Amino acid sequence: MRKQSVIVPEELAVTTVMAVVADPAAHRSALLPPRSSALGVRCARYKRFLSQLDMGSGGGGGARISAWVDSMRTSSPTQVKAAAMLSTSFAASHDEDYNNWVKQHPSALSVFEDIVAASTGKQIVMFLDYDGTLSPIVDDPDRAFISNAMRETVRDVARHFPTAIVSGRRRDKVFSFVRLRELYYAGSHGMDIKSPTKRTKHTKAKTKAVLFQPATEFLPMIDEVFKALMEKTKLIPGSRVENNIFTLSVHFRCVDEKIWSSLAELVRSVLKDYPKLRLTLGRKVLEIRPSIKWDKGKALEFLLEYLGLADSGNVFPVYIGDDRTDEDAFKVLHGRRQGLGILVSEVIRETSARCSLRQPAEVQEFLRRLVEWKRSASLPRRTEARKK
């Protein structure tokens, strides 16, 4: 697998987004829209919070717990605040900060024609997060069901493009929701990757099935921490610990914000004895992972290599996700100078994605339009083939 350089994320204007996809370095300075000072301050403050979040196992006392809680609050507003943010987002077209953000990360629906023009003649490969991308975010993670309409849309996408679900969830859990055997599944933030069990036209006849699990040595440790957290979180009403096999998720969506510090302290007290595990933050969830250099971006690279496309100049990877953990994949696409990252968000977010969509309904519409474009583009070739 080739090494990728890191490129500072470009901020793209709506009308020129795909020109920058072709040559980001050449266009960046000329195309940057003016950044709102308020937006810059807001993003800088958020970055400071994240830099304070301990990415290791424990220690640091009250100051570090305070930083954890600040980060939890910043990235994961309470339901009351979330409702307020949502109502604000519907009026966001009149908000200067939001308008500037959308100029930098235009809707993938509004620049759809530019996207397909940039992908013409290239192999599109689809990478999709699950929660918040294909299904709505819900209080009970066991009830994050994908709609039948979305499932059929993803099935159609997989008929035309190699398609992978890349999730923080355990792989078998995601499969139980999606139930499509023609997809690649990468669970536990890419630490558990399995190829399709149903052969498609994208599956090479000589390609062996893959089951890739780079963190198996951590399984006993993960299991120990899971049992400890299950016991201790009984004291935190509304908390929930999810075992993703190679990672753990401590959900605090239903936890009273007043006791977030207690939850953070509890998690810290468990992890202090496990220096080989690290803590990261998602959408109302604390993620516990092995301290190995593997994430959703690495999973994307692994799957491109497995498909024989890692060194191809004619590949167009598209990654759609809503979580902070998806940023690793967005950064990989910037480093490759290929494809497109699309963030799913209804509010201003600091991101390395070039485009945005507001919610799963818009994701479905984007995927549906992509399938329609592919079908229409294939008709002339089929007609010509029949004539011959």
Query: Which neighbouring-strand residues pair with 251?
Result: 240, 285
What DSSP string describes 282-345?
ETTEEEEEESSS--HHHHHHHHHHHTT-TT-SSEEEEEEE-SGGGHHHHHHHHHHT-SEEEEE-
Q: What's the CA gap between 203 and 329, in Å, rounded?
A: 23
Q: Cα–Cα distances in Å, from 2 out to 25, 148, 368?
A: 21, 38, 33
Enter the tokens of residue 344: 């799913």
CB atoms within 10 A of CB 188: 28
Q: Identify the DSSP state of 77.
A: -
What DSSP string describes 18-61?
HHHHH-HHHHHHHHPPPPPHHHHHHHHHHHHHHHHS--SSS--H
Q: What's the CA gap between 229 and 237, in Å, rounded?
A: 13
CB 278 within 8 A of CB 291: yes
- Answer yes or no: 70 catalytic: no
Q: Which helix (H) or strand (E) holds 279?
A: strand 277-282
Q: How many residues does the chain have?
A: 388
Query: Which neighbouring-strand residues pair with 185?
Result: 165, 194
CB 180 within 8 A of CB 196: no
Catalytic residue among 129, 131, 192, 295: 129
Query: Which neighbouring-strand residues pair with 271?
Result: none
Q: Which residues are known to be catalytic?
A: 129
